[in-house]
């Protein structure tokens, strides 16, 4: 079979696949929606930073500090190029979660059109990961604003019939995911973003599940902010990204205060550096930022469009296989239209935790439970699902073992 990706070659770049799992099984890693594995190029980039360039960035006047600053800023340029935006619009955080909390806290401190208070409305959806729900829910609580949300349909899409009631003239912020981390469903964002801008509100895109897996043009999408995490995109843990339109970032209040983020400081006051530095207090996670740059290079070399197509092929193959297994129900979207490479399913009469435990005996790593999206799971009338998610290092043989392990889980409990 001719293949979009040369997975055998790709797999050799990921040392983790040499590890043996329980019972000597090879690793079938289907939990990339939680975190991705890392290619040797990323590990080398991190190590190389420490062995050749380590110094606090943006501080020292010596050669090594200049070199550190240069490779660090090169990484910012790589992220900007990857997203098709300007480097001044890229803020490095420690995680996508921190990026979203940064926004929420900054709006709490905001003035003028960026202030949030009683009477204002913040909009999310029932699809959201806790990381894109709780910062807004708690911001609303602290400021007296009202949290509203789009409801989810059983197929994982959003109910847009209530658009005028959800997004009103009181709306200040709309924060919605690009793709559900539980179901893989991709909500129809264009009308939501249009409605957001029609009332003068700002749109925050949680792109944790999309940026690592498909080509993204954030400007074409029309978002005002976008966040993603490095570790889901082959990068190291400890680095997240916030993209924001430059004019908004520059009007916003800081999140963390400290070194590097200032213009001037006296004993009684301070002024702030322009974005992105205003939002990067303290010595950043330098090696991790450099590692993320290497990760995006790796992804670009493989090709984001190829990765997306490959994942959809695997998803279609896995969906067909799952639907042929008696007792298995795929939750959310049933096909590959408007979805990414994520599948949630249940097995009749079995708890996901037990399903995942048996699948582990086959070397298959899947996520079980509510996937940090408890309101979504409740809306589906479930206590949890088993979730498989695909990436560029998975192939059809992985899906075959996955399907075998699902049958194994069903039969392990069914026959006893």
Is 372 catalytic? The answer is yes
Q: Which of 372, 377, 392, 401 is catalytic?
A: 372
Stretch that binds other proteins, among 102-110, 285-293, 305-313, 366-374 (CB under 8 A): 366-374
Q: Is residue 416 involved in binding other proteins (CB under 8 A)?
A: yes
Tokens, residue 215:
């080509």
By beta-carbon proximity to other proteins, the closer residue of 30 and 186 is: 30
- What CA–CA distance (Å, rounded) separates 404 from 25? 14
In 3D space, the residue among 267, 228, 236 whose CA is nearest the CA of residue 97 turns out to be 228
Residues 12-31 vs other proteins: string with x where CB under 8 A? ----------xx--------
In 3D space, the residue among 313, 30, 377, 362 whose CA is nearest the CA of residue 182 turns out to be 377
By beta-carbon proximity to other proteins, the closer residue of 323 and 353 is: 353
By beta-carbon proximity to other proteins, the closer residue of 122 and 358 is: 358
Tell which one of 361, 396, 400, 407 touches other proteins (CB under 8 A). 361
Tell which one of 370, 392, 394, 395 touches other proteins (CB under 8 A). 370
Tell which one of 71, 226, 358, 366 touches other proteins (CB under 8 A). 358
Phi and psi, residue 10, nearest 5°: -60, -45
Cβ contacts of residue 47 below 8 Å, gap of 6+?
none
Looking only at the bridges linking them, the beta strands covering 240-244 and 262-265 are: unpaired
Q: Which residue has the tokens 């800023």?
A: 73
**Min dist. Cβ of residue 23 to other proteins (A):** 6
By beta-carbon proximity to other proteins, the closer residue of 17 and 412 is: 412
In 3D space, the residue among 127, 169, 119 whose CA is nearest the CA of residue 149 turns out to be 127
**Min dist. Cβ of residue 401 to other proteins (A):** 16
**Min dist. Cβ of residue 383 to other proteins (A):** 5
Q: Is residue 232 involved in binding other proteins (CB under 8 A)?
A: no
Residues 382-411 vs other proteins: string with x where CB under 8 A? -xx---------------------------
By beta-carbon proximity to other proteins, the closer residue of 120 and 360 is: 360
Q: Are 355 and 409 in contact (CB under 8 A)?
A: yes
Tell which one of 253, 354, 400, 404 touches other proteins (CB under 8 A). 354
Cβ contacts of residue 97 below 8 Å, gap of 6+?
131, 229, 240
By beta-carbon proximity to other proteins, the closer residue of 374 and 396 is: 374
Q: Are 284 and 305 in contact (CB under 8 A)?
A: no
Q: Are 49 and 286 in contact (CB under 8 A)?
A: yes
By beta-carbon proximity to other proteins, the closer residue of 233 and 365 is: 365
Residues 334-353 vs other proteins: string with x where CB under 8 A? -----------------xxx
**Total residues at the site for other proteins (CB under 8 A)?**
19
Q: Is residue 179 involved in binding other proteins (CB under 8 A)?
A: no
In the DSSP assignment, the letter for residue 336 is S
Tell which one of 48, 374, 404, 407 touches other proteins (CB under 8 A). 374
Q: Is residue 182 involved in binding other proteins (CB under 8 A)?
A: no
- What CA–CA distance (Å, rounded) separates 365 from 357? 9
Tell which one of 17, 317, 396, 412 touches other proteins (CB under 8 A). 412
Alpha helix segments (H runs only) across 109-160: 134-143
Q: Is residue 357 involved in binding other proteins (CB under 8 A)?
A: yes
Stretch that binds other proteins, among 112-120, 203-211, 312-320, 377-385 (CB under 8 A): 377-385
Stretch that binds other proteins, among 74-82, 232-240, 282-290, 365-373 (CB under 8 A): 365-373
Q: Are 246 and 276 in contact (CB under 8 A)?
A: no
Report long-range pairs for 109-118 (Cβ below 8 Å, ≥24 apart).
109/253, 109/254, 110/252, 110/253, 111/253, 112/251, 113/200, 114/248, 114/251, 114/252, 114/253, 116/143, 116/145, 116/172, 116/173, 117/143, 117/144, 117/145, 118/143, 118/144, 118/145
Strand partners, 149: 124
Stretch that binds other proteins, among 208-216, 322-330, 340-348, 367-375 (CB under 8 A): 367-375
Instruction: Check whether the bond before 276 is cis (ω within 30° of 0).
Output: yes
Residues at the interface with other proteins (CB under 8 A): 22-23, 351-354, 357-358, 361, 368-370, 374, 377, 383-384, 412-413, 416
| Catalytically annotated residues | 372
């Amino acid at each position: 079979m001719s293949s979009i990706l040369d997975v055998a070659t790709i797999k050799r770049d990921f040392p983790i696949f040499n590890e043996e799992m329980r019972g000597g099984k090879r690793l079938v890693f289907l939990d990339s929606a939680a975190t991705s594995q890392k290619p040797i190029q990323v590990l080398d980039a991190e190590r190389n930073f420490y062995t050749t360039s380590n110094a606090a960035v943006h501080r020292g006047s010596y050669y090594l500090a200049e070199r550190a600053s240069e490779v660090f800023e090169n990484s910012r340029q790589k992220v900007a190029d990857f997203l098709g935006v300007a480097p001044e619009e890229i803020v490095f955080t420690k995680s996508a979660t921190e990026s979203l909390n940064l926004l929420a806290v900054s709006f709490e401190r905001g003035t003028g059109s960026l202030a949030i208070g009683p009477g204002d409305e913040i909009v999310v959806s029932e699809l959201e990961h806790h990381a894109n729900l709780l910062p807004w829910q708690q911001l609303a609580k602290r400021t007296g604003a009202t949290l509203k949300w789009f409801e989810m349909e059983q197929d994982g899409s959003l109910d847009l019939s209530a658009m005028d009631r959800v997004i009103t003239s009181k709306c200040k912020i709309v924060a919605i995911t690009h793709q559900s981390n539980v179901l893989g469903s991709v909500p129809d964002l264009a009308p939501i973003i249009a409605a957001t801008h029609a009332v003068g509100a700002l749109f925050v895109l949680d792109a944790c599940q999309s940026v690592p897996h498909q080509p993204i043009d954030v400007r074409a999408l029309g978002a005002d902010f976008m966040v993603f995490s490095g570790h889901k995109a082959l990068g190291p843990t400890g680095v997240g990204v916030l993209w924001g339109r430059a004019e908004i970032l520059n009007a916003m209040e800081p999140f963390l205060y400290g070194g590097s983020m200032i213009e001037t400081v006296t004993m009684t006051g301070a002024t702030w550096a322009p974005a992105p530095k205003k939002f990067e207090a303290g010595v950043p996670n330098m090696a991790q930022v450099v590692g993320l740059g290497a990760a995006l290079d790796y992804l670009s070399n493989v090709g984001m469009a190829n990765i997306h197509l490959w994942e959809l092929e695997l998803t279609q193959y896995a969906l067909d296989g799952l639907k042929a297994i008696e007792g298995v129900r795929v939750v959310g979207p049933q096909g590959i239209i408007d979805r990414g490479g994520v599948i949630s399913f249940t097995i009749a009469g079995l708890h996901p935790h037990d399903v995942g435990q048996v699948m582990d005996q086959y070397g298959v790593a899947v996520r079980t439970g509510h996937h940090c999206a408890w309101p979504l799971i409740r809306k589906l009338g479930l206590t949890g699902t088993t979730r498989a998610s695909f990436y560029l290092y998975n192939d059809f043989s992985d899906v075959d073992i996955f399907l075998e392990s699902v049958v194994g889980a069903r039969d392990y409990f069914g026959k006893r």
